[in-house]
């Protein structure tokens, strides 16, 4: 389920659109890994680590920018970001323990979460950035 970036995913802030594209690209790279053996598990863990690190960076930047603009739903954003990070760690631990779920299930969860979060939550803050620019 490779996700191609569409303009409808835009939150109206180029920096964060770029971040979201990078996150989707990392998730999409999981699609290329076949599950089942130790080597592929290592690849999955490596990709999940990259996803975790980049999402941590993105979430921090996004939260800092929203905090500076006194964004009303910041607490909800932070909670969802923390839950996503926790889930990535849980998947990594499962693959490290060789009790992995199917890579396709992981990709489906991560892709769905990202798209829902971008479309449902992140798109709400675009107007906050426009308002502060005028």
CATH label of the domain that carries residue 98? 1.20.120.50
Cβ-contact 95, 8 below 8 angstroms: no
CA 130, 19, 119, 66 dihedral sign is negative
Q: Looking up tokens 């290329």, which residue turns up? A: 32
Of residues 61 and 132, more confidently modeled: 61
What is the tally of structural domains in the chain?
1
d(CA 52, CA 45): 10
What letter would DSSP give residue 53?
H
Q: What is the pLDDT of residue 97?
A: 84
Kindly state whether residue 4 falls inside one of the protein's structural domains.
no
Q: Is residue 57 part of a domain?
A: yes
Range of the domain at 75: 12-133
pLDDT at 100: 65
Domain assignment present for residue 5? The answer is: no
The pLDDT mean for the chain works out to 90
Is the pLDDT at 37 greater than 90? The verdict is no
Residue percentage of the chain with pLDDT more than 90: 69
- Whether 1 is in a domain gets the answer no
If pLDDT is split at 50, 70 and 90, which confidence band does 102 have? confident
The residue that leads in pLDDT, 51 or 96, is 51
Question: Phi, psi (5° rounding) for residue 94?
Answer: -65, -45
Distance (Å, whole) CA 5 – CA 8: 8
**Residue 6 counted as domain residue:** no
Write down the pLDDT at residue 35. 60
For residue 21, count CB atoms less than 10 angstroms from its CB and return exposed for 0-12, middle for 13-18, buried for 19 or more. Answer: middle
Give the pLDDT of residue 39: 72
């Amino acid at each position: 389920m490779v996700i191609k970036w569409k303009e409808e995913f835009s939150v109206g802030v180029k920096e964060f659109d770029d971040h979201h594209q990078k996150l989707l690209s990392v998730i999409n790279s999981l699609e290329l890994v076949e599950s089942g053996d130790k080597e592929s598990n290592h690849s999955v863990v490596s990709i999940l680590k990259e996803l975790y690190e980049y999402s941590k960076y993105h979430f921090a930047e996004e939260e800092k920018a929203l905090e500076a603009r006194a964004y009303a739903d910041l607490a909800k954003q932070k909670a969802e970001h923390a839950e996503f990070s926790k889930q990535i760690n849980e998947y990594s631990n499962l693959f490290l323990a060789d009790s992995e779920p199917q890579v396709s299930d992981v990709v489906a969860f991560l892709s769905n979460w990202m798209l829902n979060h971008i479309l449902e939550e992140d798109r709400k803050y675009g107007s906050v950035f426009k308002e502060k620019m005028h």
